[in-house]
Amino acid sequence: MEKILTEVFGIWYLIGAAFVFFMQAGFAMVEAGFTRAKNAGNIIMKNLMDFCLGTVAFLIIGYSLLMGQDFAGLVGWGESPLTDFAGTNWSSFTFNLVFCATAATIVSGAMAERTKFISYCIYSFVISLIVYPIEAHWVWGGGWLSSLGFHDFAGSAAIHYVGGLTALIGAWMLGPRIGKFDKDGTPRGIPGHSLTIGALGCFILWFGWYGFNGAAATNGIQLATIFATTTVAPAVATCTVMLITWIKYGKPDVAMCLNGSLAGLVAITAGCDAVNVFGSFVIGILSGCMVCFIVWLLDYKLKVDDPVGAVAVHFGNGLLGTICVGLFACGTDTMPEAQGLFYGGGFHLLGVQLLGLLAIGAWTVVTMFITFYIIKKTVGLRVSAHEEIVGLDKMEHGLESAYAGFALEADVPGDYLETIQDSSYTPSVELDDAVPTKVIHSDGSISKVVIITKVEKFDKIKTALNEIGIGGMTVTKVSGCGVQKGQTSYYRGAKVNMELLPKLKVEVVVSEVPVADVVKAAKKALYTGNIGDGKIFVYDVADVVRISTGARGKDALKYEE
């Protein structure tokens, strides 16, 4: 029976590795959704390549540094998976590889939308080659931290803290995106182009986290309790963020709540096997507060631009989760006696956890600062202002759009496909001439009436104009604002001043139908009494020429069978 159980959990170990690999898709979707459409292809490419480059780096030397024979508690050595197929533990290799890739992929979100692709490839390779393997050896490979009793079951410190700290260094050295901060330093929210994609990524990551935290479980009860704590902490963290943003901004912030879920997952990762459900509940509350605080700190005090919240989620909560082990560890299969400060274990474990964070942080800061500095002085770290404004999809990959075909296929005004800040086109819809339902005589002059209103009012204005005999119209999706310049909203805690809002422009040219009737019908259809109902402009038209017949003036406006 014991042999069977060993084999079962050995299989689960590899299934868990597959779960963790699937998290690459989650990271790609979160980062793509939280950034602008003009950089979506670049984000996808980076998330693809950090795993592929990481595999090469891990094969060459990374795995040996992590899992090789320990040398003075500092590094491993002796494993050679690239040349020794028969002698390599491929279960261990695959499992550790997907964790290594996770540490590398965290960085791309914080440095998104302004980093050179070649530079990303270089520093991602370095992370997988030496940075992650050496500090992970200290924790899991028999190194000096593990001998002291440092506890990081699934990687709050070894993976998320390292990835988040690297992201912080990189984002600081890069500088903010163009337009992120006003001249006085006030942060501006730059919404991502698809919260739907971002939410999909968040759910994928949450799903993958059950393998991330649970793959190393050694029995069914431990696996079940890990699943429980891995569920409770992110759920409570999300509720906490929802309440904080609701109270602070008047409405719950969707993007911040998604960050809250990830923050809870990161924070519980170190102690998922060592805390009970009450401990995970408290960790969830703390992580929700932490992610909100770090986002605010970066935007309003440190002026570090992190488009997706990677620093707040991974650095802040990797730090928090590692410390919380020293506070809430209550005793489990892998930790038979309660060692957390709040459970009577004293300060020893807490001190070890703090020492581990200090050592891992120092290693990461030194190696990654040197790496970024060398890149900056050689190939360069940041793209030019022109490349950033045009978008990395086009400038780095020759990709016109990651959504080719989507934007031009809409045949009715309505759902607009990307945020106004990203729009470089105004797709229009031409409605075929229709037979007037009735003719109302006027003085024969020709006038053009332009109606600017909300996109969702299309059906109402179309029906109203048809009822008074308007036989044709041109409808265009545009962007604009009036004196009010849109309502102030918040995105991840920073104000978003929507200077341009999605609008619908309806143009009609009339002769037989009195202009006054057009204006009256439009006002009746569109009026709500609120800001944003729209405006009506009336112009005199000197002449009209019908291309098909050559008719001019009001004759060009008449319907002919």
Which of helix, strand or coil describes residue 437?
coil
Bridge partners of 476, per DSSP, are: 428, 505
d(Cα 142, Cα 67) in Å, to the nearest integer? 8
Q: Please check the confidence at residue 14 and state whether its pLDDT lies above 90.
A: yes
Determine contact, residues 447/541, Cβ cutoff 8 Å: yes
pLDDT digits (tens, 9 = 90+) for 407-424: 433 333 333 333 333 333
DSSP string spanning 161-221?
IHHHHHHHHHHHHH-PPTTSB-TT--B-----S-HHHHHHHHHHHHHHHHHHHHTT--SHH
Joined together, the tokens standing for residue 246 give 């609701």
d(Cα 361, Cα 504) in Å, to the nearest integer? 53
Q: Please check the confidence at residue 428 and state whether its pLDDT lies above 70.
A: no
Determine the pLDDT at residue 317: 98
d(Cα 544, Cα 542) in Å, to the nearest integer? 7
Determine the pLDDT at residue 440: 39
Question: Percent of the chain scored above 70 by pLDDT?
Answer: 88
> Any residues with CB less than 8 A from the CB of 547 and at least 6 apart, and which?
none
Q: Look over the chain and give the mean of its residue pLDDT values, rounded to a whole number.
A: 87
Report, as an integer, the average pLDDT of 200-229: 94
Which residue has 């163009």 as its token pair?
A: 178
Q: How confident is the model at residue 339 (pLDDT cuts 50, 70, 90)?
A: confident
Q: How confident is the model at residue 366 (pLDDT cuts 50, 70, 90)?
A: very high
Q: How confident is the model at residue 1 (pLDDT cuts 50, 70, 90)?
A: low
Q: Please check the confidence at residue 549 and state whether its pLDDT lies above 80.
A: yes
Which of helix, strand or coil describes residue 139?
helix
Amino acid at 464: A
Q: How confident is the model at residue 162 (pLDDT cuts 50, 70, 90)?
A: very high
Region of poorest pLDDT, from 313-327, 360-374, 407-421? 407-421
Q: Please check the confidence at residue 497 and state whether its pLDDT lies above 90.
A: no
Beta strands in 215-267 (DSSP E): none
**CB-based burial label for 375 (10 Å; 0-12, 13-18, 19+):** buried
Determine contact, residues 26/208, Cβ cutoff 8 Å: yes
Long-range contacts of 364-367 (CB under 8 A, 24+ apart): 364/131, 364/135, 364/162, 364/165, 364/166, 365/165, 365/169, 367/126, 367/130, 367/131
Q: How many CB atoms lie within 10 A of CB 385?
A: 10
Determine the pLDDT at residue 481: 65
For residue 441, which of 385, 510, 505, 495 has the smallest C-alpha distance? 510
Q: Please check the confidence at residue 333 and state whether its pLDDT lies above 90.
A: no
d(Cα 351, Cα 396) in Å, to the nearest integer? 46
Q: Please check the confidence at residue 445 and state whether its pLDDT lies above 90.
A: no
Determine the pLDDT at residue 3: 64
Top mean-pLDDT range of 386-390, 444-448, 485-489:
386-390
Which of helix, strand or coil describes residue 473?
coil
Looking at per-residue confidence, does 455 or 249 come out higher?
Answer: 249
Q: How confident is the model at residue 484 (pLDDT cuts 50, 70, 90)?
A: low
For residue 39, which of 418, 437, 449 has the smallest C-alpha distance? 418
Amino acid at 501: L
Determine contact, residues 506/455, Cβ cutoff 8 Å: no
Q: Please check the confidence at residue 439 and state whether its pLDDT lies above 60.
A: no
Report, as an integer, the average pLDDT of 321-342: 85
**CB-based burial label for 532 (10 Å; 0-12, 13-18, 19+):** middle
Determine the pLDDT at residue 312: 98
For residue 508, which of 548, 560, 471, 556 has the smallest C-alpha distance? 471
Report, as an integer, the average pLDDT of 330-353: 85
Determine the pLDDT at residue 45: 97
Report DSSP state, residue 553: G
Determine the pLDDT at residue 109: 95
Report, as an integer, the average pLDDT of 10-32: 94
pLDDT digits (tens, 9 = 90+) for 255-304: 999 999 999 999 999 999 999 999 999 999 999 999 999 999 999 999 99
Q: How confident is the model at residue 492 (pLDDT cuts 50, 70, 90)?
A: confident
Determine the pLDDT at residue 489: 72
For residue 142, which of 73, 212, 63 has the smallest C-alpha distance? 73
Region of poorest pLDDT, from 99-113, 264-278, 305-319, 532-546? 532-546
How many secondary structure helices (H) and strands (E) does the chain include?
19, 9
For residue 476, which of 494, 453, 499, 496 has the smallest C-alpha distance? 453
